Amino acid sequence: MNDSDLAIVILAAGKGTRMKSATHKVLHPLGGHPMLHHLMDTVAPLNPTKKIIVAGADKEQVEASVGRIADIVVQEPQLGTGHAVQMTKDLLKGFNGDVLILYGDVPLIAEATMQKMIDTREETGAAVVVLGFRTKDTKAYGRLKVNDNGNLDAIIEFKDANDEERAITLCNSGIMLMTGEHMFDLLDALDDNNAAKEFYLTDVVEIANKKGLSCAVVEADEQEVMGINSRGELAEAEAVFQNNRRQYFMAEGVTLVDPETIYFSYDTIIGRDVTIGPNVVFGPGCRVADNVTIHPFCHIEGATIGSGSSIGPFARLRPAAELGKGVKVGNFVEIKKAEIEDGAKVNHLSYVGDARVGKNANIGAGTITCNYDGYFKYHTDIGEGAFIGSNSALVAPVTIGDGAIVGAGSVVTMAVEADALAIARGKQRALGGWASNFRTNQQNKKNKKG
């Protein structure tokens, strides 16, 4: 027997009908990451040796999302939370470590809280540790009956509780830690003799006490154990998640000018002394180095931004935008799958996709890399120190050599040598006096008609 062994069981067999979605409830995202994956990520540092998800009829969706990182068992029909945990019997046969039971729709629980449950079980020798929380709005949560010695005597489901029990404000989050040693003995003793005619997991507490085993409670913050059953609750949980990230980044040395308007993804990485203006959204896969300024109204996804760079306002960085140090990307600029090397500038109204922009190159206003012919994508390579005149179209595949200059308004379809000037536009003609003659003639015609 290895006491430090940990197994996790995630209950996710519920139908989630209130989401009104073809997508399984636990696969809806928070900060761009499915709820279920949040849980898997949070438990990872605890090194669980077994990970089991209890799914319902829509097992395939869960399987497609988590792949082989967890075992999936099916609970069909769903006869209650206790019945759900019974489904793990074959997979946990002979397992004597701790079993942590999580809910797939309670994704915000912190690693520290899980660790506290494990520590409490070790310290108290309890057979069951329940995660409780206090709330003003006790709704229909199960209530925790704790005696004067701090032992948890019972969990009373709301439907089965009397008025005195309903007045208890310490509620059951549903999350529970049990020692594998006793778990199936306790589960085997469950019955469905209750108001819901379900096998309640919560009944293991009374059963354990009757067997002379003890039960303990760990308390969590209400927000950490919020459950998600509807789109409204999903939005509330998103707000909690975002607020947590905002507090975290500010504590790490990031200035958020108007925190409530800035949105992060689960994996956003931001360095120190970064300033982020209002209304900036980070999609998944972003890395921002130190001393970067992101001006208001930018949308950034899958992008890397090197130190000292300045982005926006109103810039869009799309996946595989890789910006070096001291890069400037200005207003109404879109960058996709492009390396923008140190010191390069793309300041106004441009699209740069499938490209490299060399060190210190300057891309003039309105420059477009024409990267797509309707079938394939092509690369544009712009050399170090090159200068692309405003309103140029660079028709890929095309190479602009180091130090070359492209005249404004050019449509470049052929390679430009290093240090050359390329002009590819209609030649200008100047016809002296033409404009005033034109106006005189036209005015005369108009006068005759009138």
| Site residue total, ligand UD1 (CB under 6 A) | 27
* Of 9, 13, 170, 183, the one binding ligand UD1 by CB under 6 A: 13
* Prior bond of 397 cis (ω within 30°): yes
Least distance in angstroms from the C-beta of 228 to ligand UD1: 9
Q: Which stretch binds ligand UD1 (CB under 6 A): 73-81, 234-242, 291-299, 350-358?
A: 73-81
* Of 39, 127, 171, 292, the one binding ligand UD1 by CB under 6 A: 171
Dihedral of the CA atoms 11, 16, 21, 25 (nearest 10)? -30
DSSP, res 364:
P
Q: Which stretch binds ligand UD1 (CB under 6 A): 5-13, 256-264, 342-350, 438-446?
A: 5-13
Q: Of the two residues 95 and 141, which places its CB atom closer to ligand UD1 in the complex?
A: 141
Q: Is 83 a catalytic residue?
A: no
- What is the C-alpha to C-alpha distance for residues 263 and 319, in angstroms, rounded to an integer? 17
Q: Are 298 and 311 spatial neighbours (Cβ–Cβ below 8 Å)? A: yes
- What is the C-alpha to C-alpha distance for residues 37 and 335, in angstroms, rounded to an integer? 29
Least distance in angstroms from the C-beta of 162 to ligand UD1: 16
Question: Which residues in 141-160 contact ligand UD1 (CB under 6 A)?
Answer: 141-142, 155, 157
Instruction: Supply φ then ψ for residue 317, to 5 degrees.
Output: -105, 120
Least distance in angstroms from the C-beta of 319 to ligand UD1: 33
**Of 81, 70, 68, residue with least CA distance to 14:** 81
- What is the C-alpha to C-alpha distance for residues 122 and 97, in angstroms, rounded to an integer? 11
Cβ count near 150 (within 10 Å): 10
Q: Are 86 and 66 spatial neighbours (Cβ–Cβ below 8 Å)? A: no
Question: Which residues in 183-242 contact ligand UD1 (CB under 6 A)?
Answer: 200-202, 227
* Prior bond of 45 cis (ω within 30°): no
Element (H, E) at 70: none
Q: Are 288 and 270 spatial neighbours (Cβ–Cβ below 8 Å)? A: yes
Q: Of the two residues 227 and 407, which places its CB atom closer to ligand UD1 in the complex?
A: 227
Q: Which stretch binds ligand UD1 (CB under 6 A): 12-20, 34-42, 288-296, 304-312?
A: 12-20
Lay out the site mask for ligand UD1 across 119-138 (x = CB under 6 A, - = otherwise).
--------------------
Element (H, E) at 182: helix 180-188
Distance of CA 190 to the CA centre of its chain: 38
Lay out the site mask for ligand UD1 across 325-364 (x = CB under 6 A, - = otherwise).
----------------------------------------
Lay out the site mask for ligand UD1 across 266-305 (x = CB under 6 A, - = otherwise).
----------------------------------------
Residues binding ligand UD1 (CB under 6 A): 11-14, 54, 75, 78-81, 83-84, 103-105, 141-142, 155, 157, 171-174, 200-202, 227
**Which residues are known catalytic residues?**
348
